[in-house]
Amino acid sequence: MDSMKHNSFLSADLLPSLGASTNQSTKLRKHIVSPFDPRFRAWEMWLVILVIYSAWICPFEFAFITYKKHALFIVDNIVNGFFAIDIILTFFVANVDSHSYILVDNPKKIAMRYLSTWFVFDVCSTAPFKSLSLLFNYKGSQIGFTVLSMLRLWRLRRGSLLFARLEKDIRFNYFWTRCTKLILVTLFAVHYAGCFNYLIADLYPNRRKTWIGAVYPNFKEASLWSRYVTSIYWSVTTLTTTGYGDLHAENPREMLFSVLYVLFNLGFTSYLIGNMTNLVVHWSSHTKTFRDTLRSVSEFASRNQLPPNIHDQMLSHISLDFKSEGLKQEETLNGLRKATRSSIANYLYLHIAQNVYLFQGVSHNFLFQLVSDIDAEYFPPREDVIVQNESHTYLYILVSGAVEFTAYIDGENQIQGKAVVGDAFGEIGVLCYTPQPFTVSTTELSQILRVHKRSLISAMRAHIEDGRIIINNLFMKLRGQQSIAIDAAKKQPDVLLQKWLGGSLKICEGDASDQGKGHKYLQLDDSENIDLELTKSMDSRKDGSSETKRGQEHKIKIAEEEKPNKYIDEKSFSNADVASFKLTYPHCRFKPSKQEPAKPEEKKVTIHLKSEGKYLPKLIILPYSKVELLRLAGEKFGKQSFTVVTNAENVEIDDVDVIRDGEHLLGSSGRINLLKELLSACGKPNTTSASKFQLELYTNGLLDPHSCSSEP
């Protein structure tokens, strides 16, 4: 049995059955030829060459060669012999079923399918009608057999199928393939029209009343080349609607043919111009889009008065995007299936991820899952990859090029270090949920891999042990670069991994070291958020001695973005300057900088008394709770009892977190003023009705017992 593999573009029409592999070998019956066999494809290409010859010679012989003992007569019979062999071969070529898309190798089904479709047309286009005409007329001048020989034009169907296949073949340029097809169609149209128009003149009884006889009365005595060129000249001038007028129709037959030819030209010219215009526009649209984008970016930068460095970054990004459009791996991979994308990513990125310090020691399964979601991107020189204090979203791996780290310190950007090929950056923001500590900018054309935070967390949740290794690698780097004391003996860094599983972490103080310094370690909590606090250690002595000065205080909040952390009390404070960590990367050198403990942000608000105008507004520091705000406002306005606080839009404030710095607030006592007015209207506060009323107010917490001199 013959076997073949159909794993190339040539088998685009073949779909395997369910459960079958796309690269499996298809076993055919004995003496059955596969339509995707390279030898059969070569045979088809040879037949296409013969088709081109037949398409040109058939109308030429029909119009200009009326005798059969010409040298072309032998060539035509040889060509017919090749097509006769192809008819026999077709009975042994497997075909693709149009419903199941499976190769049919049953000889009976193949024969029935061919006999019921193109067999009759193939036989008629191959039959030697010129040789048969000699049996009835030696001179072969009968027009009937000449017309039958025109059936050879049926072979053009093979040329159409060839171009349909070439247009899908990426080995050939689509633009030039389409242009070649349009040029050939135009040449054949001109050739056919010229030959048929000459045939009309040749068969007309009066030579001088023909389009060519009016100019050349003895045109039949002219050479074959002169007559053919004259016919092509008329056909081209008519097709292009030039109409010089030197050659024109002279009799009704020629007029009728000219009318039909002009009507054909209307549709054919539209088809030709439309296709060429579409190809040219498509070819140049990419450059036009690029120019329009550059102009829009420049206008946007000018209109908004952007700094020159930002404007240059925008132009560099657009230019690089235009140059590397063919290298956009993300757009290419998105059209593939997940398994195929994973295999490609594993081949391209696995060896790169293995060399990153963060993934040293992790399993192959973890890396395979992680690299499946990696995106590659090119960055032009002097473009910001990460901006200081932006949100934590991606982990970056430098594949080629170089980047530098800068931090905004003392009012200016200072270079803190550089990274080279194979380094990773952005991991602090992703794993520790802090703003990015540095601005990372490229110094040359760089290719950078991006790992989204969701992909990294998902892989760590699926591979707990590998997640522990990653956290441990991160902590080892923190300890090595900043000497952050984390007592691994008390609690290994793998407890941080439990956060990704839905737990929570908090810092507990361990036993003091030999030097008396307290260490911090991580402890798992049942809550859904994480607080990783590295606070200042105080060495409290039982005899009340002075406190020992410790290292500087840091606090890193690690919490889900959707779920704010509520574990930290009001006394704890966060790090306001993440860059002060000076978390270095491989091959980086950092300048020492003084660390200052961060302070909570203070808001100043102005509070007004809503109901009375004798008090001036008070500027106060916004407390941490609404209860404290009401109490403080009451003290500022002479022991007023405030119950409601509204903003300038008369919207009641329920939480102080929504109050902005510098906002104006209005305080009112609500029902309290009304009740106090009622008490005053009672006359003496020790009356029975007033005393009962005061007692009710006091019971409901609406009256200060010290505000009334009389007892209830």
Mean pLDDT, range 242-260, rounded to an integer: 90
Q: Is residue 292 domain-resident? A: no
Give the mean pLDDT of the chain.
72
Query: 336 and 477: one domain?
Result: yes
**Site of tokens 């905004």:** 408
* Number of separate domains in the chain: 3
Phi-psi region of 80 (alpha: psi -120 to 50; beta: other; left: phi over 0): alpha
Domain-embedded: residue 122: yes
CA separation (Å) from 586 to 189, 357, 704? 70, 9, 65
Query: So what's the pLDDT on residue 344?
Result: 84
pLDDT band at 29 (very low <50, low <70, confident <90, very high): confident
Convert 39-49 to b/e letters by CB count within 10 Å (16 or more is b): ebeebeeebbe
Q: What is the pLDDT of residue 596?
A: 43
- Integer Cα distance of 292 and 296 in angstroms: 6
Element (H, E) at 122: helix 119-126
Identify the band that residue 557 occupies on the pLDDT scale cut at 50, 70 and 90. very low
Task: Give the mean model confidence (pLDDT) for residues 580-607.
Answer: 48
Pick the last residue of a domain from 430, 462, 481: 481
487-537, pLDDT tens digit by residue? Answer: 333 334 554 455 555 544 333 333 333 333 333 333 333 333 333 333 333
In a domain, 44, yes or no: yes
Question: What pLDDT digit, counting tens, does each position of 254-263 carry?
Answer: 999 999 999 9
205 inside domain: no
Same domain, 612 and 474: no
pLDDT at position 620 is 84
Residue 536: phi and psi, rounded to 5, are: -70, 130
* Distance of alpha carbon 529 from alpha carbon 561, whole angstroms: 10
C-alpha distances (whole Å) from 368 to each of 364, 365, 422 are 6, 5, 18
pLDDT tens digits for 319-367?
777 766 655 566 666 777 778 888 888 888 888 898 898 999 999 999 9
Among residues 439, 466, 301, 492, the alpha carbon closest in space to that of 370 is found at: 466
Domain range for 143 is 11-17+27-170
Would you list the DSSP string of 508-537?
EEEEE-TTS-EEEEEEEESSSSEEEEEPPP
Question: Is there a domain that residue 625 lies in?
Answer: yes
CB 350 within 8 A of CB 374: no
Tokens read off for 506 = 């908090």
* Residue 3: inside a domain: no
Q: Residue 429 belongs to a domain with what CATH number? A: 2.60.120.10
- Among 137, 170, 203, which residue terminates a domain? 170
- In this structure, the dihedral spanned by the alpha carbons of residues 576, 579, 583 and 585, taken in order and rounded to 10 degrees, is 150
pTM of this prediction?
A: 0.49
pLDDT band at 597 (very low <50, low <70, confident <90, very high): very low
Let me know if residue 226 belongs to a domain.
no
Does one domain contain both 332 and 477?
Answer: yes
Among 140, 170, 200, which residue terminates a domain? 170
Establish if 344 belongs to a structural domain.
yes
